[in-house]
Amino acid sequence: MERGKEIYAGKANTLYEVLDDSGNVLPHVIEMECTDRISAGDGDKKDVVEGKGYANNLVSTLLFKRFAAEGVHTHFVSEGTTSSSKIVRKADMIPLEVIGRDFAAGSFCRRYGVEQGRAFDPVLVEFTYKNDELHDPLINDDAAVQLELIDEDDVDTIYVYMDVINKVASDFFAELGLTLVDFKVEFGCDEETGELMLCDEFSQDTCRLWDADGNSVDKDIFRKGESGKAVSDVYQKLVSMLEAME
């Protein structure tokens, strides 16, 4: 396989066509490159963080393989043409972000006046409507179905998947001495088969992680004002942990 032309460049990832050995575009798959771009606040704050793309792709690849092994259908196909990319199934994306919370943090605390660190069991699941103009408002599953953003059967499957995703990811990070606080994931329907799939990524960009001292090992430090080398060091810290396990 070879990389084809660029299809789309988002806030953090870039998508490319995938070519066969004869230079023909392969159907139903694309290459997803995790870049060093970083943003927060609906894209108002932006920077470039060295090594972030590699770190995010490494974590996502390891986790997506574990999710698949536990029965979660994902878009992951194989490693890509670079150390920061992967080959994935094309999907019709569902315009929802699905948030899983093991502990209260961030906007949840501000919204409900809850003390940071309050534990939830089972994982607390929230939905937001992906719409930058509306600033990704919270939406309940019934409203999402009534507005035809998602099928009711897919909502039911997402709740099942979220329990599995949370368990797998929590155990994965616990092996590194880290606590998974919360995470957000996205789903889509396979372009070819219509089957619901976990898409996008699961990385330091999309979850909160605390070390044993309660320090953030994720994108939160960028949201709180750090940039450049300090943010790069946080992403590299997780890579170093994973390399030490091998």
Percent of the chain with pLDDT over 70: 100
Confidence grade of residue 43 (pLDDT, cut at 50, 70, 90) = confident
What integer pLDDT is reported at residue 91 of this predicted model?
98
In this prediction the pTM is: 0.95
Please say whether the beta carbons of 204 and 217 come within 8 A.
yes
**Per-residue pLDDT reduced to its tens digit, 84-119:** 999 999 999 999 999 999 999 999 999 999 999 999
Provide mean pLDDT across the span 136-145: 97
d(CA 243, CA 114) in angstroms, rounded, equals 36
- β pairing state of 76-79 and 45-48: unpaired
Please say if the pLDDT value at position 246 is more than 90. Answer: no
For residue 226, the 8-state DSSP code is: -
Phi/psi of residue 152, each to 5°? -60, -40
Q: Are 53 and 234 in contact (CB under 8 A)?
A: no
- Summarize the confidence of residues 109-136 as an average pLDDT: 96
Question: Tell me: the pLDDT tens digits for 193-230?
Answer: 999 999 999 999 999 999 999 999 999 999 999 888 99
Residue 121 pLDDT greater than 70, yes or no? yes
41, pLDDT greater than 90: no
Please give the Cα distance from 197 to 200 (Å, whole number). Answer: 10
Calculate the average pLDDT of the chain: 96
Show the domains of the chain with their CATH numbers. Answer: 2-89 (3.30.200.20), 92-245 (3.30.470.20)
Residues 141-173 have pLDDT tens digits of 999 999 999 999 999 999 999 999 999 999 999
CB-count burial class (<10 Å; 0-12, 13-18, 19+) for 95: middle
Q: Could you give the angle at the alpha carbon of 87 between the alpha carbons of 129 and 77, nearest 5°? A: 90
Residue 119 neighbours by CB under 8 Å, 6+ apart: 102, 103
pLDDT band per the 50, 70, 90 thresholds, residue 233 = very high
